[in-house]
Chain A
Amino acid sequence: MFRARSELVSLLCVLCLACSVPAGALADDETRFAEGLEAYDAGDFDATVAAWRPLAEAGHVEAQVAVAGLYLQGLGVRADPAEAARWYRTAAEAGDAVAQLNLGDLYSRGLGVPLDLVEAYAWLTLAAEQGNRWPAARRDEIAVGLSDAELEEARKRVNRYRSSL
């Protein structure tokens, strides 16, 4: 009962927030994002970061995924896999499939996060559930090395993360 009520409150908050954001601001965000993409295309990574990071910090999920990629590759910023993982996690928790598969990939390699195949399995599963074949294949590779108990734990995490998305 309490949970249903809190979900309703969350939904109303989201709706209010969506209504309070002017359409012009959304369009501006997309324009700003496109400017960053154009700069990225041109190899001007400083301008890319200048365009995308403020968007990412403001909650633009696509920009969060893009900024994570910049941190992972060290383009326009000092390479920082931990920072990349942080941005991927933020976007993954917002339900972005690309962020989920990359976060799972980082966990499977211990890059920017501790090596954790159970966590990798969980995030790759969530990405695979959105119809992407790559995380499904990677998850199945990982599953071979997991014990029954670890698989059980991974599935619990999948359920937990799914319910909080």
Chain B
Amino acid sequence: MMDRTDHPDFEAKVAFLKFATAALFVLFGVRLFYLQVMQGATYRTLAENNYTRTIVMRSPRGIITDRNGRLLCRNRISFSLVLDTAKEGSLEKTIAAMNRILGLSMTEAEVKAALRRSPVPSLAVLARDVPPDWLQKVETHPDELKMLRVETELRRDYPSGPLASHAVGYVGLLSEEEAAALQVRDPDPFIEVGKAGVEKTANAVLMGENGRRTAQVNALGREVEDPRLRLPGVGVQKEPVPGKAVRLNLDLELQRILTEALGEESGAAVFMNPSTGEILAWVSLPGFDPNLFSHTVSARDWQALAEDPRHPLLNRPIQGSYPAGSTFKPFVALVGLEEGILTPGTTFYCPGGWDFGGHTFHCWAKGGHGGVDLLTAIQNSCNVFFYRAGDRVGIDRLAKWGALFGLGSRTGVDLPGEGSGILPSPAWKLSRNMGPWYPGETLPVSIGQGYLTVTPLQLLSFYATIATGGKRYQPRILSGEPRLLSSVEVSPSTLEVIREGLERVVSGGTGKACHIPGLTVCAKTGTAQVVEASAGKDTKLLDKAIRDHAWFAGFAPRENPQVAFVVLVEHGGHGGDLGAKIARAGLEYLFFGKKPGEAEEPSAGPAPLEARGRAPSPSEG
């Protein structure tokens, strides 16, 4: 019989087992002590990081209205498909399941590109404006689509579409660079920032500030509701501050009338209150639909817009740069009068051209204008008079006064991407390494050609300054206090001469098409030569692409001007008719409440704009 006494080493074996068991439990105890007591706080933090997630409380962007409160931009609810790579799972399998379940056809490369674009490296917006039932589809496949979720967001909606698109602008998802520049650190891939127009310039006001709350989530990323698991620190950290509404100076109705008047043409029309700088209309054609950008612009759509030969994305009033053409002539006259070189009685003979330095400079009227004094020269836009006047005034004086009127520099309008045009001078030419200034180069500048280029807004600003008698206001799309840029000292007599000339242009000169009974409109036509070849030719016979641009710029009424305007029709031919007719449509609406197509009402003369409630606010001066 085996007994524990006859069993070899029985006691030793039992002792060994005791020792081994004790050793194992000591090991476990030490390990537990290390994990729970010594490292406990560290693991507690790790556990908390596991289940707390910072959730961004999005602040809605402010709405945008015109001066009468009509909506230009609002928000709408939209659903977006978001990929969260912080969740466990295989990207490859998720994409396959997503394509199968949601009927998409995304490649891994596209998904990775979306991840790279995102300001939050682990999150990517794969599709926006997805059907609401995707929410359910994603929820019902928690295993396969663990890395996906459908989120609600507020998207921009522009009810008037392309109308005023260049003024309002559009938004897009925050890029990494913008996140750094705007100091946005929210872990949210849905932050939209203005990329153009007022959306961009007023971005800080419109955007508001996102709030933050800490949420408790389980391993699937779902929020935990059980109050027993509620921990300190969970809850709202910061309430969101909603973006503020922004009111523009634009009059949507005027905007619409001018846009329709321009029709299929490419061009620009800007109306402004000269004594406040309030911009009443900002038309740039062709326009684009900003709602397109509110959906993530597909590469194809973007390319189509960017490569359109008519450049719909170009904000023509500030980004287009054109020769001023004859609209520059009143400026030359003003400089001559102020410098005492010209008088209202100064008369030159126009035989249809002027020989200068072995070259004949033509007038647009082949037969010539005969003897013309200053007023007639403005009225009929005689080139020869201004060649000779400009020659006498000289480039230096033109450059000095041009700078005073803000030519060659930005107006400071509250829209992004403004260009500055070119105000040529000998110094400018030298700085560009183009050699010394030749007197013959002053001649084309005197009729608004040559090296001179302006943006439509610069030209408008000049005419507005004539209207105010020298006060230059910053042109402003956003409503707010007027801001005086500078006051140009111009003698009242000079101003009277220029105004008289401009009135004659409309009452009996090249701008007759803008003659409105009961309103004294002061304006000037202009033709900006696109190519040298067109000089002196009947532009109607030329190809549209090389036809001259047509200008029409001025203000009204002559006494107490309430609106200044500029109209540019690209390749519109001689400016007399088309530009003047467009301006007339706007003026008739502003002063008589007349909308195109409506039957003409008998009017009791120019009613004060204020009475109609859509007027620019009167200046304080």
Q: Do A and B come from one complex?
A: no
